[in-house]
Each structure stands twice: as C-alpha cells, then as structure tokens.
Amino acid sequence: MQHFKTLSSYLDYLELPRPEHPMLSVFNSKGDGYLPCPRESSSPITNDCYTISFKKLVKGDLNYGRTKYDFTNGALIFIAPRQVLQWNSSFISEQKGFSINFHEDFLKGTELAQQIKKYGFFSYSVNEALHLSPKEEKQIESIVENIEIEYQNNQDLFSKEIIISQLDTLLKYANRFYERQFLNRKELSNDLLDQFNQQLSIYFESGSLQEEGIPSIENIAEQLSVSQRYLSDTLKKETGKTSTEHLQLYLIDKAKNILLNPTKTISEVAYDLGFEYPPYFSRLFKKKEGISPTEYREKYKLN
C-alpha cells in the first residue's frame, strides 16, 4: 500500500494544485466555482495528513476502509492520518464545498495536537459523516473563509496561530453538530442498540464463545456496517453506556442464568462465557452486581 509522508507528495498524487504552505492546503469553491477534482481512481493509500472537507453535488463511491459512501446529499468528512482511502473513476464529478488538508506536524507544540485526538469523529467511517443544516453550513463556511484568508495572505508570525485557532473552533462546532445529529437520529440509535443485542444473541447461540472467546466490539461493529467508535458514541449518547458496557451487561445477564446451575463451578461458568481467565470474570461480575458470583449463587440458589 502506498503511503505519503508529506502533504505535497499526497497532493501531487491526487493531481491537485500544490499547497501555499508545506503543511497546509485549503481548497474552497465560491460562487459558481467548483472544487478541483482529484485523480480519477486510486488503489488503497494512506498519508500523514488530516483532512476536513465538505462536499456537495458529488456522484460515485468513495471507499473509506471497507465502507462506501454516496456524497450526493453533502456531508462534512473528517479523515485522520494513516486511515485507508480508495476511490473509483465514477467518483469524479463537479463538486462544491471545501477541503482543508494539513500535516499532523502542523499542530506540533500546540494544545490542538492533543485535543484533536479526542474527537471521535476522526475515527468514524465516511458513511457516518456529519450532515449539516443550512444554518450550520453557513457557520462552518464562515470559519473556513477565515482560514482561507490567512492561508492566501502573506503569512507572518501570527498566521499559524490564527489558523490553528480557527481549526480548533471548526472542530468544536463539528462536535456540537454531531451531538445534534445523534439526538435527531434517536430512532436510528434505538435500532442500532437492538441490532447490537441481536448480533450478540446470534454469536452466543452459534457456539462461537467456546471456540473464539468473547466477541470484540470491532467485529460486532463490522457486522452492523458501522465503525467501532461510532457504535460506541451512538450507544453512549442514547443509553449512557458504551458498547463495551453493553457487552459486559449482556455477559453478566447470561452469567446469572448459568450460575443457578449448581453443578457448574465458577471457573466453568467463566469458560462457558468465553472468559480466558476466571478471576477476571469474577471481578467483572462483582463490579457490576456488587456481589461475587459465589455470593450471587448462594443468594438465589434454587431450593
């Protein structure tokens, strides 16, 4: 897989104009203009850059990891360094919006260098992009215009600080808008929780626990065609619990039924549930229930 260490080499590969700054590029369509189109197609590639882009009037498919996304409705996309990108020739089309690309080293020595890693949406798949309302779109475009002004002007000692400040503001607004998107998609969130539990049920009933152990959140998310981070964030917003917590609750619920079988030892119950180390099962059970598996068995044993 081809990897690009510099922003210039990445843009050269895309067949896009070279940047005004060695670590930052800004493309912005205005009025009747369109964004420059990248090369027609690409095999999987990675790079050391962040990308924040808003695309409208785009046709075709972009593969981001293993996921395809149709941009025709327009969406704000966030891509982190070393994430896999791939697209085909049908992706090329006239497109409006903006695209900001910056090398991860552009943030070195700033608070944003650490803060940006806390934004979960950089780990989302493209089909989980942020869809903006007209009002939100104007707010984001205003920030991008400020970034572009600094980018196009003769840069001085203050330029980088101002640009990073504007990037920080853009990301904070994006975080707020994602909160709104989660709330507006409450029905979808509930459905996702149902699908999550259904996948667990299928996995447990298939007998995979004994062979493969407890399923990973990553594998469950893949079955649901969402990213691991998006699944956890969605469930957290809707239920107050992450995907890992829901998995643990599911395991504890199963454990309660098995514990009522007096012929099984605590270790056997743990192994039946896919735990490699029985003491970990006992600690988790006590943490969630307030009593140990043995105490639970004594309390609720059948007469």
What torsion, rounded to 10 degrees, do the Cα atoms 270, 223, 130, 34 define?
150
pTM over 0.85: no
The domains of the chain are located at 2-184, 187-300
The pLDDT value given to residue 38:
79
CB 188 within 8 A of CB 194: no
Q: For residues 274 and 125, what is the distance between their CA atoms, to the nearest angstrom?
A: 29
Is the domain defined by 2-184 classed in CATH 3.40.50.1100?
Answer: no
Q: For residues 123 and 294, what is the distance between their CA atoms, to the nearest angstrom?
A: 41
Q: What is the mean pLDDT of the chain?
A: 84
Pick the CATH number of 187-300 from 3.30.70.3040, 1.10.357.10, 1.10.10.60, 3.30.70.1450: 1.10.10.60
Which of 21, 82, 92, 6 has the alpha carbon at shortest distance from 57?
Answer: 92
Beta bridge mates, 146? none
Instruction: Supply angle C-alpha 48, 51, 53, rounded to 5.
Output: 165
Above 50 in pLDDT, residue 130?
A: yes
The pLDDT value given to residue 70:
44
**What is the tens place of the pLDDT at every residue in 190-230?**
678 888 888 988 888 887 877 788 889 999 998 888 888 88
Beta bridge mates, 44? none
Better-predicted residue by pLDDT, 189 or 17: 17
**What is the tens place of the pLDDT at every residue in 155-188?**
777 889 999 999 999 999 999 998 888 776 655 5
